[in-house]
Amino acid sequence: MPVIRRLTRLLTAHLDTQLLVVLLLLMGVGLATIFSGSNQSVPRISSQVANIMVALGVMYIFANVPPHFLRRIALPLYVFGVLLLVCVALFGEIVNGARRWLYIGVTRIQPSELMKIAVPLMLAWYFDRYEATLKLKNYIIAALLLIVPIGLIVRQPDLGTALLISAAGAYVLFLAGLSWRIIIGFGIAGAACLPFVWGMMHDYQRQRILTLIDPTQDPLGTGYHTIQSTIAVGSGGLVGKGWLQGTQTHLDFIPERTTDFIFAVFSEEWGLFGNATLLLLFLLVIGRGIVITANAPTLFTRLFGGAITLTFFTYAFVNMGMVSGILPVVGVPLPLVSYGGTSLVTICLGLGILMSIETHKKLVQS
Amino acid sequence: MSELTINPGVELRNSRLEIHHFRVRLAIASIFVLCMFTLLFVRFFYLQVVQHDYYTTLAEANRISIVPIVPNRGIIVDRNGVLLASNYSAYTLEITPRKITDVEALIDDLSTVVEITPRDRRRFRKLMDESKSFESLPIRTRLSDEEIAKFAAHRYRFPGVEINARLFRQYPQAELFSHVVGHIGRINTHELEQLEAKGIEANYRGTDYIGKVGLEQSYETHLHGTTGVEEVEVDAAGRAVRTLSRSAPTSGNNLVLNLDAGLQEVIYRAFGDFRGALVAIDPATGGVLAFISKPGFDPNLFVDGIDPVNWKELNESIDRPMVNRALAGTYPPGSTFKPFMALAALTLGKRRPEQVISDPGGFNFGGHFFRDDKVGGHGMVDMYKSIVVSCDTYYYVLANDLGIDNIANFMAQFGFGSRTGIDITGESRGILPSSKWKMDRYKQKWYAGETISVGIGQGYNSYTPLQLAQAIATIANDGVMFRPHIVNYVEDIVTRKRTVVEPQPMRTLQLQPEHLAVVKKALVGVNKEGTGARAFAGTPYISAGKTGTAQVVAIKQGEKYIESRVLERHRDHALFIAYAPADQPKLALAVLVENAGFGARAAAPIARKVFDYYLLGKQPTPLKPDEGAAGARD
């Protein structure tokens, strides 16, 4: 049936098989772990399956959107996002002591989530536009484009998101060829600024960092999450306690078992072998992203693709680092594994763009 | 590459260079990614392989909770099996203050569901002040079924409040045994430290109560038992999910006392409205048959922590019900000291029994006239008569002849001035005066004049009723002395094994039988024809006794003591020591009646009732006031 075969090829032309297989594997790991972490809750699973469907749909759409379209919407999206952030600062709703949400008639939205895509997109567009004549001035402007939304997000306060967006922006700057002298200079200046940053932090943020240094300081308060998740990971051992057998998980010692701390559940039940496998899967996604980026045809796609790939890495690293007690507790989900629609959609959108970059490059070149 | 030539170059070369630069940067980023993932892997390896055992232990400790199972406290019964301290189980409503922000508001709220009296509130507040915040403390005890059901329906409103089934201690005999059985109470910080110092705090996990006074305290280790443990799997909220293993607790041992509850009650009633103390001992064993300090108090009030109002009432009462008069109260022995003085005189060779002195109604020493109780004196007095009629002058002279240190040395062997070693704590030593004692106490030398009144049991002399009882029991038992003990035996309720408390004599005094016989004959004479004759008229058994009167306030020289003119609380204490049957004593006692006047009138009739009940099984008939009073004086 050549018609069907041609139709299938047309429909899947913009999908990247390697990325798709690996991300489906990761989602499968996620479902299995959510099942365990939610004490075998079927509603949780079906709800996550629905999230996955939506996310795959978004991925499919963005895989088919040609990169030059994204380039076109970069500036408006960025401006729109910054405006929303300003609105949040002015009229935002306060939830749990942080002003992060904006109520828009029917539902609440969190504009900082949008900026996770909009900021690297904007920077990639900016460098692409001035590709021929990149000067120091351009890097400074790019830095300003980065600092404005981050400043607004830090004020909310939402340090975790601010750091992730900074990282995404910094990756673009780095990949765009920011001079080493400046990078090192900023590194030193940044270190020098640390005391001031400390002074500006909110108490709960300082507490998180102090807790990281010594979780036992406050075992029932802020240290509790770190202590319990570290125990879960450590007690998992080489091969883990077995699926659905984690005591830390099933006796409620791990907080946020299906979302931010899902890795503790996985780690307890699958042990070091499971962790190594998971790291490998993430590396496959990242590796594929790097290959796509390396072969991307334009500076815009290179920078944007690189930022997406490295942001994905950052999510995974920060989350696993936090659960295993080497990074402070920040609200970052484990990409493709944690329960929750928002992060799943954001990640799949990014991966869709990567696929788009890969599958549209011939068109660009021709 | 033909199209490349269309654009002569710069941009393309730049572009290639740019791609090269980009790929270098990307490669650096990839290395960074690999480094970070390696770091994660190293961390996982460290946690899951190197530190695996450590974290497994932590996870197990998280998961497994050792729940202590509190053993049943041993019960206490009298010699006939009458319950003196027992346990009952009841439901309590308990609050964990740590989980509550506003305890008062919560109690207000709770009182709409379950009745909470102001007394409950006061008691709870006191408990809260005394205990650590993580404990759950009872606000109400003995909930009815209806109250339990009512609370259960509203329990969602009260996080941090729960109903627990607990064993409670009960003292059915209430005040009758308050001073001897004692009571338990909640473990305080000080007691916890003591338990830790002894290294037995583990056995008290889950136990809220500990013996505070009396036998409950002194036999705590026997009564408490061994705490069992249950290993349960718990979730993060501390809820037990399932039991993993269990080792049963071992109940505490029961105490079977020498005390006789019937006798105890007879005595308590015989005191009427008077305060006082009585200790009755089986001379042949040292077993304490009766131990009364009146007034007593209701020990049940203390079990769950006494509320401040009741505490104040007990603590500030002029009758001082909290004082254990028999154990800790010290009183001058008055004339009950005379038989011991007589024995001292015989043993030290200062008097022969038949040696006679003349009593002109007093004794002049150093310009001070020591009055005899009988105006005009008793005439010619030998040793027998001196005891029977209680002649003061005989003993003034004798004391002077013996000297204070001879008296002290002799009396010490009867246990005067030292603790008897009875099996409850809080005993007073009393005061056995000697020149050394006075030097230690007042840094003054002893004056010979001070010896005179010691001879009739006044002066510095001061002993507990228990010491007097032990001393007379020793005479009754021909000088073989036992450590008085309230507990007959400790019974292991599992093996039924009985551990008898000290059946061995403590010491045998160096007394000549013929000397003892003289004194014992005189003591029989007291009840036959002397100061105790009225009270003991018509007994089918032969008894021996000695009356005594202890001055509460000193009477000026030359002034006559007239009872009706003296404030009730300043009246003399009445004393009586006795044993019966005289030939083969089964019971020896000392009785003290506070502010009751002459020993013959107030104390001896109580002793009579004790013997009648104990030897004849006779229940006493209500006594007419002043019966047997008009007889001989002290």
Diameter of chain A by CA atoms? 69
Which pLDDT belongs to residue B10? 46
B58 inside 8 A of chain A by CB? yes
Beta-carbon separation of A313 and B56 below 8 A: no
In 3D space, the residue among B433, B442, B395 whose CA is nearest the CA of residue B411 turns out to be B433
In 3D space, the residue among A289, A282, A331 whose CA is nearest the CA of residue A307 turns out to be A289
Among B14, B41, B235, the residue with its CB nearest the CB of A279 is B41
Asked whether residue B135 carries a pLDDT value surpassing 70, the answer given is: no
The mean pLDDT of B589-607, rounded to a whole number, is: 86
The mean pLDDT of B129-133, rounded to a whole number, is: 66
Nearest-CA residue of chain B relative to A287?
A: B30
Beta-carbon separation of A230 and B55 below 8 A: yes
Do B574 and B549 form a contact (C-beta atoms < 8 A)?
Answer: yes
User: Using 50, 70 and 90 to split pLDDT, how confident is the model at B404?
Assistant: very high
Asked whether residue B9 carries a pLDDT value surpassing 60, the answer given is: no
More confident residue, A86 or B303: A86
Q: Which residues of A fall within a CB distance of 8 Å from B240?
A: none
B63 inside 8 A of chain A by CB? yes
Structure tokens at A324: 């295993």
User: Using 50, 70 and 90 to split pLDDT, how confident is the model at B14?
Assistant: low
Do A342 and A56 form a contact (C-beta atoms < 8 A)?
Answer: no
Beta-carbon separation of A306 and B29 below 8 A: yes
CB pairs under 8 A between A and B: 125
* Residue to substitute from B10, B17, B22, interface A, most A β-carbons within 10 A: B22
B244 inside 8 A of chain A by CB? no
B88 inside 8 A of chain A by CB? no
Beta-carbon separation of B41 and A276 below 8 A: yes
B62 inside 8 A of chain A by CB? yes
Q: Which residues of B fall within a CB distance of 8 Å from A238?
A: 48-49, 52
| DSSP calls for B224-289 | H-B-EEEEEEE-TT--EEEEEEEE--BPPPEEEES--HHHHHHHHHHTTT--EEEEEE-TTT-BEE
Beta-carbon separation of A175 and B54 below 8 A: no
Beta-carbon separation of A299 and B26 below 8 A: no
- How crowded is the C-beta side of B428, counted as CA atoms within 13 Å? 19
Diameter of chain B by CA atoms? 160
Q: Which residues contact B49 (CB under 8 A, 6 or more apart)?
A: A237, A238, A272
Q: Which residues of A fall within a CB distance of 8 Å from B19?
A: 302
Burial (CB count <10 Å: 0-12, 13-18, 19+), residue B35? exposed
Do A308 and A289 form a contact (C-beta atoms < 8 A)?
Answer: yes
Residue A337: C-alpha distances to residues A35, A214, A243, A259, B475 (Å) = 12, 28, 15, 8, 93
Among B36, B49, B60, the residue with its CB nearest the CB of A317 is B36
In 3D space, the residue among B327, B339, B337 whose CA is nearest the CA of residue B288 turns out to be B327
Beta-carbon separation of A290 and B11 below 8 A: no
Do A159 and A330 form a contact (C-beta atoms < 8 A)?
Answer: yes
Residue B131 distance to chain A (closest CA, Å)? 22
User: Using 50, 70 and 90 to split pLDDT, how confident is the model at B625?
Assistant: very low
Q: What end-to-end distance do the CA atoms of chain B give, in Å?
A: 143
Sign of CA dihedral B257, B260, B261, B266: negative
Do A149 and A163 form a contact (C-beta atoms < 8 A)?
Answer: no
Q: Which residues of A fall within a CB distance of 8 Å from B63?
A: 247-248, 251, 253
> How far is the C-alpha of B388 from the C-alpha of A17, rounded, in Å?
123
**Residue ranges per structural domain of chain B:** 2-50, 66-257, 324-616
More confident residue, A186 or B400: B400
Q: Which residues of B fall within a CB distance of 8 Å from A232?
A: 59
3-state secondary structure of A144: helix
Do A282 and A346 form a contact (C-beta atoms < 8 A)?
Answer: no
Do B231 and B243 form a contact (C-beta atoms < 8 A)?
Answer: yes
Catalytic choice (B131, B251, B293, B335): B335
Q: State ipTM.
A: 0.93
The mean pLDDT of B366-374, rounded to a whole number, is: 85
User: Using 50, 70 and 90 to split pLDDT, how confident is the model at B7?
Assistant: very low
Which pLDDT belongs to residue B179? 92
Structure tokens at B222: 């026997």
Beta-carbon separation of B56 and A237 below 8 A: yes
Q: Which residues of A fall within a CB distance of 8 Å from B40?
A: 279, 317, 320-321, 324, 326
Structure tokens at B447: 């004056």
Three-class DSSP labels, B71-89: CCCCCEECCCCCEEEEEEE
Local structure of residue B568 (DSSP, 8 states): G
Taking only the tens place, the pLDDT of each residue in B543-585 is 999 999 888 765 555 555 666 656 677 788 899 999 989 999 9
Do A116 and A158 form a contact (C-beta atoms < 8 A)?
Answer: no
> How far is the C-alpha of A124 from the C-alpha of A310, rounded, in Å?
14
Interior/surface letters A190-224, b for 16+ CB within 10 angstroms, e for the rest: eeeeeeeeeeebeeebebbeebbeebeeeeeebbb
More confident residue, A97 or B171: B171
Beta-carbon separation of B29 and A310 below 8 A: yes
Residue B295 distance to chain A (closest CA, Å)? 52
pTM (2 decimals)? 0.65
Which pLDDT belongs to residue B630? 39
> How far is the C-alpha of B630 from the C-alpha of B534, rounded, in Å?
8
Residue A273 distance to chain B (closest CA, Å)? 10
Nearest-CA residue of chain A relative to B235?
A: A251
Do B176 and B260 form a contact (C-beta atoms < 8 A)?
Answer: no
Structure tokens at A146: 């980065």
Among B21, B23, B47, the residue with its CB nearest the CB of A234 is B47
Nearest-CA residue of chain B relative to A232?
A: B59
CATH superfamily entry for domain B66-257: Penicillin-binding protein 2a (Domain 2) (3.90.1310.10)
E strands, B125-178, in order: 137-140, 161-170
Summary mean pLDDT of chain B: 85
Beta-carbon separation of B40 and A324 below 8 A: yes
In 3D space, the residue among A317, A233, A186, A104 whose CA is nearest the CA of residue B33 turns out to be A317
> How far is the C-alpha of B302 from the C-alpha of B127, rounded, in Å?
12
Structure tokens at B499: 């551990």
* Residue to substitute from B7, B18, B24, B26, interface A, most A β-carbons within 10 A: B26
Beta-carbon separation of A279 and B49 below 8 A: no
Asked whether residue B598 carries a pLDDT value surpassing 80, the answer given is: no
Beta-carbon separation of B45 and A177 below 8 A: no
> How far is the C-alpha of B408 from the C-alpha of B436, rounded, in Å?
10
Among A282, A302, A313, the residue with its CB nearest the CB of B22 is A302
Beta bridge partner(s), residue B137? B95
Residue A323 distance to chain B (closest CA, Å)? 10
Beta-carbon separation of A231 and B11 below 8 A: no
Is the N-terminal amide bond of A67 cis, ω within 30° of 0? no
- When mean pLDDT is compared across B313-327, B364-378, B502-516, B615-629, the lowest value belongs to B615-629
| DSSP calls for A13-67 | TT--HHHHHHHHHHHHHHHHHHHHHTTS-HHHHHHHHHHHHHHHHHHHHHHHS-H
Structure tokens at B220: 């705590």
Do B433 and B404 form a contact (C-beta atoms < 8 A)?
Answer: yes
3-state secondary structure of A97: coil
> How far is the C-alpha of B416 from the C-alpha of B577, rounded, in Å?
14
User: Using 50, 70 and 90 to split pLDDT, how confident is the model at B613?
Assistant: very high
- Looking at A65-135, list the stretches that DSSP marks H as alpha helix, in order from N- to C-terminal side: 67-91, 111-129
Taking only the tens place, the pLDDT of each residue in B422-456 is 999 999 999 999 999 999 999 999 988 889 989 99
Indicate the angle between helix axes A262-294 and A17-37, nearest 10 degrees.
170
How are the residues of chain B apportioned to helix, strand and coil, as percentages rounded to the nearest 5? 40, 20, 40
In 3D space, the residue among B553, B76, B594 whose CA is nearest the CA of residue B293 turns out to be B594
Among A231, A234, A283, the residue with its CB nearest the CB of B37 is A283
Beta-carbon separation of B40 and A279 below 8 A: yes
Which pLDDT belongs to residue B132? 60
| DSSP calls for A288-329 | HHHHHHHT-SSHHHHHHHHHHHHHHHHHHHHHHHHHTTSS--
User: Using 50, 70 and 90 to split pLDDT, how confident is the model at B628?
Assistant: very low
Among A174, A230, A302, the residue with its CB nearest the CB of B47 is A230
The mean pLDDT of B292-321, rounded to a whole number, is: 86
Structure tokens at B89: 């189980």
Active site residue B335: yes
% of chain B at pLDDT higher than 90? 42
Instruction: Domain B324-616: give its CATH code.
Output: 3.40.710.10
Q: Which of A220-229, B27-36, B69-78, B84-93 has the highest mean pLDDT?
A: B27-36
Asked whether residue B203 carries a pLDDT value surpassing 80, the answer given is: yes
> How far is the C-alpha of B108 from the C-alpha of B283, rounded, in Å?
58
**Residue ranges per structural domain of chain A:** 14-365
Our CA angle for B451, B430, B551, nearest 5°, is 60
Q: Which residues of A fall within a CB distance of 8 Å from B60?
A: 247
Which pLDDT belongs to residue B470? 94
Asked whether residue B251 carries a pLDDT value surpassing 80, the answer given is: yes
Which pLDDT belongs to residue A122? 94
Beta-carbon separation of B47 and A252 below 8 A: no
State which residues of chain A have pLDDT below 70. 1, 96-97, 105-107, 211-222, 362-366
Taking only the tens place, the pLDDT of each residue in A259-283 is 889 999 999 999 999 999 999 999 9
Asked whether residue B247 carries a pLDDT value surpassing 90, the answer given is: no
B35 inside 8 A of chain A by CB? no
Interior/surface letters A145-181, b for 16+ CB within 10 angstroms, e for the rest: bbeebbebbbebbbbbbbbbbbbbbbbbbbbbbbeee
* Residue to substitute from B40, B50, B232, interface A, most A β-carbons within 10 A: B40
Q: What end-to-end distance do the CA atoms of chain A give, in Å?
A: 30
B10 inside 8 A of chain A by CB? no
Structure tokens at B106: 């919560």
How are the residues of chain A apportioned to helix, strand and coil, as percentages rounded to the nearest 5? 75, 5, 20
Our separate counts of H helices and E strands in chain A read 14, 3
3-state secondary structure of A69: helix
Q: Which residues of A fall within a CB distance of 8 Å from B234?
A: 251
Which pLDDT belongs to residue B503? 66
Residue A246 distance to chain B (closest CA, Å)? 10
Which pLDDT belongs to residue B497? 87
Beta-carbon separation of A231 and B36 below 8 A: no
- CA gyration radius, chain B: 37
Structure tokens at A76: 């408006």
E strands, B405-486, in order: 480-481
What is the residue type of B321? P
Beta-carbon separation of B56 and A310 below 8 A: no
Which pLDDT belongs to residue A348? 94
